[in-house]
A = this chain, B = another copy of it.
Amino acid sequence: MLEEDAEPDGSARQREATVADVARLAKVSKATAARALGGYGSVNEDTRLRVLDAADAVGYLPNALARTMSTGRSHTIGVVLSDIENPFFAKATRAISDVVQSAGFDVVLCNTDENPHNEAAAIDLLLEKRVAGLIVAPADRNANGAVARVTAQGRPLVLFDRTVDDFECDSVIADNRRGAYELARVLLRAGHRRIAFLSTLGQQNYRRGDRIRSTSVADRVDGFEAALDEAGVEIANQIVLLDGERPGIDPLLTHAVHHGATAIIASDSLIAQHVLHGAKNRGLAVPEELSLVAFDDPPWTSLSNPPVTVMAQPIHDIGAEAARLLVRRLDGLKGDVQRIVMSQRLIERDSVAPPRVKFHDLDHQENKPGLPHSCE
């Protein structure tokens, strides 16, 4: 038995047992005890049992930190993402954990809230905790020092959902440009000519050509614009609304509707939810008065009134593939950077209808001053 330290509150709390304690009780050396406990080296079967008995007699619990310090291996990988409440990330995380755990690694998760500062802190934290590798969905494509630090430290890194500019790195993303293109085509085919793209990410006051911080959103906006160009629709008539810092899709919706948008592309399912709510509150019938399409396909999109047309992403696969890639790198796989791009899938439901407005009138107002195509 270990001596017990008397606690201030009178309870007796045991000092944590160490290999040394176990060794003493089992009457062997620290080294032998450690071998028996750690299951390495070779140790006589009898002594092994004796050590194990001693171990749970003193309530021995290995110290993973000490172990990592001496071996240099942590068996832990870090995952950093922006919003665990977003079903996209929840699902991807799930996939990552499954893969990574079955490969014998533990996972530590950090939430950044789309804030580059938090992200840097999270990455450094994980690096300081000496995780074996990292999987991150970077909040900012630009000069992302924290992300670069990971590889600079020589640790494997896989980016998912988003990438970072001028940075060679394994990554697994979805074909967002194509997805947005298709979504825009659906709307265009239905006759819409004034479409708003809504996202909570990126900067406010977007002008065509601006670099949007999140590459997944940037790719979508790109595909969106490409479809419009191709259809010969004036981009100036379109409305790309990015929320930047502010919370709340609702003001964006107000803005969009106020400027004549007849259809919305929601950049994720959370935004689609807000749009549907907003439309309901405003007494705007979907799709009769406002059409809606969105990225991601959580179960509710087929249950809502109306069911919504979506671009489904292979979320599970994105996470799983990112994890598999990291595990392979951890196993020592060398070789070229891998950039995996997964395709998305259109699911048409009932949230799109032709616009009620005729656009001939509006088209003549194109140059009317004061018609913004971005939100302040």
Q: Which of A344-375 contact B (CB under 8 A)?
A: none
Contacts of A299 in B (CB 8 A): 273-274, 277
In chain A, residues 114-128, which have Cβ atoms closer than 8 Å to a Cβ of chain B? Answer: 124-125, 127-128
Q: How far is the CB of A273 from chain B (nearest CB, A)?
A: 5
Bound CA span A128–B61, Å:
7
The 30 listed contacts between A and B (C-beta, < 8 Å) are A8-B334, A14-B154, A16-B153, A59-B153, A61-B127, A61-B149, A61-B153, A63-B69, A63-B128, A64-B125, A64-B128, A65-B65, A65-B74, A65-B129, A65-B130, A66-B69, A84-B84, A84-B93, A85-B87, A85-B90, A85-B91, A90-B90, A94-B111, A106-B125, A107-B109, A108-B108, A298-B300, A300-B300, A303-B304, A304-B305
Given contacts A14-B154, A97-B111, A304-B304, 18 further A-B contacts (CB under 8 A): A8-B334, A13-B154, A61-B124, A63-B128, A64-B125, A64-B129, A65-B130, A84-B93, A84-B94, A85-B94, A106-B110, A108-B108, A273-B300, A300-B300, A300-B303, A303-B305, A305-B305, A305-B306
A16 closest partner in B (C-beta):
B153
Q: Does A62 contact B (CB under 8 A)?
A: yes
A45 at the interface (CB under 8 A from B): no
How close is A269's CB to chain B, nearest CB, in angstroms? 9
Q: Chain B contacts of A280 at CB under 8 A?
A: 303
Q: How far is the CA of A3 from the CA of B16 in the complex (A)?
A: 39
Q: Does A331 contact B (CB under 8 A)?
A: no
1/0 contact trace for A141-155 toward B, CB 8 Å?
A: 000000001001110
Q: For A300, list chain B residues within 8 Å (CB).
A: 273, 298, 300, 303-304
Size category of the A interface is 35 or more
CA distance A149 to B300 in the complex (A): 40
What are the interface flags for A129-167 relative to B under an 8 Å C-beta threshold, 1 for contact and 0 otherwise? Answer: 110000000000000000001001110000000000000
A343 at the interface (CB under 8 A from B): no
Of all chain B residues, which has the CB nearest A97?
B111
A9 interfacial by beta-carbon distance below 8 Å: yes
Interface string of A8-23 (1 = CB under 8 A from B): 1100011010000000
Q: Is the CB of B304 within 8 A of A64?
A: no
Q: Mark A37-74, 1 if CB is under 8 A from B, else 0.
A: 00000000000000000000001011111101100001
